[in-house]
Amino acid sequence: MKNDISHFQGKVEQLLIRHRSVLDSLSKYQETNAKVNRAITKTITFCGCLTVNASSQDVPEDANFKDLKEYTNTHLDGCLCEQCKDIIEEKIGNNLFYMAAICNLLDLDMDDIIEKELDKISTLGRFNLS
């Protein structure tokens, strides 16, 4: 996986010309993030392949931290249809493009960031609440 991320980040470095300003990349990153949110929303409001069934999460007061997952849910019912899946994957890909662009502009390595985050969540485990 490390090689794929490095390859992706390198390709973004080669292709990003128009939005080389950090301000342009930041605004495009934010815009693509909004498009991910909108695409997920449309799976519910337009397609209907997903529905939201939301209510308060009933967690017993004496529940152990490790058991919290048993008492909480995603509030989603259904599964993504192929069309919605394709659209969301495309929007997330665009978002990753601008994330990689920001990393490049700041001379950050996405592999290192992912590795550090993996180490952190592996060490903290269930106590990773950030």
Q: What is the pLDDT of residues 65-116, one digit of tens each?
A: 778 888 888 899 999 999 999 999 999 999 999 999 999 999 999 999 999 9
pLDDT at 130 > cutoff 50: no
Once rounded to an integer, what is the mean pLDDT over residues 32-60?
Answer: 95
Domain that holds residue 109: 2-127
Structure-model confidence comparison of residues 17 and 25, the more confident one: 25
CATH of the domain at 75: 1.10.287
The pLDDT mean for the chain works out to 91
Predicted confidence at residue 17, as pLDDT, reads: 85
Mean pLDDT is lowest, of 1-10, 19-28, 39-48, for: 1-10
Among 57, 65, 62, which Cα is nearest to 129's?
65
Residue 109 has phi, psi (to 5 degrees) of: -100, 120
Under 8 Å between Cβ of 16 and 104: yes
Predicted confidence at residue 123, as pLDDT, reads: 87
How long a stretch of residues is the chain?
130
How many domains does the chain contain in total? Answer: 1
